[in-house]
Amino acid sequence: MAELTITQANFQSEILESKKTALVDFWAPWCGPCKMLGPVIAEIAEEHPEYTVGKVNVDDEPDLAQQFGVMSIPFLAVFKDGKLVTSSVGVQPKENILDMLK
């Protein structure tokens, strides 16, 4: 399954109300490290349908970024049962991201 584009309009339904653990990548098109992380996030979305994987463009959705205290990107957030359970800043190896999801 491909990553979802997450906006203020669908955040509640796609992430907070998801029955699956959700990974959200807060990113921006001008961010070099975000571009490096993008293919890893896409791989996780394709290889792990048991997770909801979404991307929030912080330029388009500044309120969502502010709501979760995103100060630096890429910022990865993991949600379970509608709650933020863990997060990380910066490029992470795929294995570390998968560990965050467990």
| Whole-number Cα distances in Å, 66 to 1, 17, 43, 62, 87 | 28, 20, 27, 6, 14
In the 8-state DSSP scheme, what is residue 18? -
Please give the structure tokens belonging to residue 33: 């490290």
Assess whether 34 carries a catalytic annotation: yes
Sequence-distant (6+) residues with CB within 8 A of 40 are 92, 93, 94, 97
Q: Which of 4, 15, 23, 34 is catalytic?
A: 34
Cis peptide before 74 (omega within 30 of 0): yes
Q: Which of 31, 84, 89, 91 is catalytic?
A: 31
Assess whether 62 carries a catalytic annotation: no
The catalytic site residues sit at: 31, 34
